[in-house]
Chains A and B, each alone.
Chain A
């Protein structure tokens, strides 16, 4: 029984890190994704090309690689490129949270890229007639976006967004590669000590969390079912 409590506490601790990454990634990636989406739809070609190239790189390379790059690159830069910076970084390096911050940055920009494509698809999928109807009624572009287009976009993007968000909670386990003390990290620690069952126990954490998300998104979809787009 003591063993079970011990494992539970450790896994809970790990899971809290996973949830922190999950929550903060959503907080940063959704606005950033919206920004990238607008850049990708810009009429100004250089901006559009830069934006789409960034999305291509972020979606075209493994998230694990991006985590490595973001975690190690500043350190490598200061070793080889800016040795002068060494002193200023010392306090920062000692804290474990740099790992968490690196993971958060990597997850945020990676998911922003995916979200941006979902947003772009959602916005471009709204029939042109909706925009035109607003225009001939003398509404401004801003009014049309917020009063007419946005709610239709939200309804359209909920299924693909729920997919990505469910993937995100499981992807947090990738932070393991830079030793963020997340759920899988602790399960693995027990496994190395010869305890197999905590890894299944860890799986149950994800399952329950995803179950709750699924119920939530079903509820949202139902809430929005009063209109069709």
Chain B
């Protein structure tokens, strides 16, 4: 049984069916990239995993436990959803840092609240050191040791996104999701963010799902690549398979379109 099993996820908004039975599996420590044109349900899939949207049906199994089941999802209590949600982290396209807090406070806020709550409930802490220390270490890890006291409005887009990554890491999610982490960035800033994600893979071995339009990055960082069209998995395989040896015609056309754009 795989570490993460996503099975038959369906999701509609009104009459529009966005996800039409998405399934995939991912082993622990592996990185899955999801590629495809905009409007094909990639973001919705991530949002379903993070309970920002409730899937209409389908199951998500993590480490042998069913963490999401479309049938009972809407009947779950707020507290249960919160608990399940903590297995996943999400880095947004638009960072969504809290503007009134410094970089350090942004990383520390949710973690310190969580540690307090755990202490109150008699649960062991997530870390054996103060949350502020953890936050500092995470910011050093993403290369922002000299920016800890700055506010989001004083940081560049790339720096903001690195803070957001540190913030998501702080809660120790089992699966970290990235929703087009570089799409809102100027081209010269995407490199630093992609480098951080790559380093996290190598040093932390964290399981990641990355929705991205950066094909070169997807190719180099992924263990698996998933090509999504119109709410279904069109092709799924190793980066070599998907990029160098695409089977589906739609994928061939998609990759062709990209290389034309890049002038190759």
Contact = CB atoms under 8 A, between A and B. Distances in A.
A147 B109 contact: yes
A78 B148 CA distance: 67
Nearest to A148: B98
Interface stretch (A134-142, A170-178, A182-190): A134-142
A90 interface: no
Contacts of B167: 137
B113 A139 contact: yes
Interface string A148-174: 100110010000000000000000000
A28 B96 CA distance: 34
A94 interface: no
Contact of A227 (B90, B114, B151, B168): B151
A136 B153 contact: no
B86 interface: yes
Contacts of A136: 50, 52, 85, 88-90, 168
B128 interface: no
Given A133-B92, A138-B82, A152-B99, 17 more contacts: A129-B92, A129-B94, A129-B96, A132-B52, A135-B51, A136-B85, A136-B89, A137-B110, A137-B168, A137-B171, A139-B110, A140-B78, A226-B151, A227-B99, A227-B151, A228-B152, A229-B99
B100 A227 contact: yes
A97 interface: no
29 contacts: A130-B96, A130-B98, A132-B96, A133-B92, A133-B96, A133-B97, A133-B98, A134-B110, A135-B85, A136-B52, A137-B110, A137-B171, A138-B82, A138-B110, A138-B114, A139-B110, A139-B113, A141-B78, A143-B113, A147-B109, A147-B113, A152-B99, A155-B100, A226-B151, A227-B99, A227-B152, A227-B153, A228-B153, A229-B99
Main SS at interface, chain A: helix
A151 B82 CA distance: 23
Interface string A179-211: 000000000000000000000000000000000
Interface in B125-158: 151-153
Contacts of A229: 99-100
Contact of B52 (A135, A137, A143, A152): A135
Contacts of A135: 51-52, 85
Interface residues of A, number: 23
B85 A138 contact: yes
B100 A138 contact: no
Interface in A211-229: 226-229
Contacts of B50: 136
Contacts of A226: 151
Interface in B104-119: 109-110, 113-114
Contacts of B85: 135-136, 138
A229 B195 CA distance: 29
A71 B99 CA distance: 46
A138 B86 contact: yes
Contacts of A148: 98, 109
A43 to B, nearest CB: 14
Nearest to A147: B109
Interface string B236-261: 00000000000000000000000000
Given A226-B151, A227-B153, A140 B99 contact: no
A138 B98 contact: no
A94 B178 CA distance: 71
A127 interface: yes
A139 B99 CA distance: 17
Contacts of A132: 52, 92, 96
B200 to A, nearest CB: 17
B110 A228 contact: no
Contacts of A141: 78
Nearest to A136: B90
Nearest to B93: A129
Contacts of A140: 78, 82
Nearest to B153: A228
A147 B112 CA distance: 12
A155 B110 CA distance: 22
A106 to B, nearest CB: 36
A127 B113 contact: no
A200 to B, nearest CB: 44
Nearest to B89: A136
A217 B144 CA distance: 35
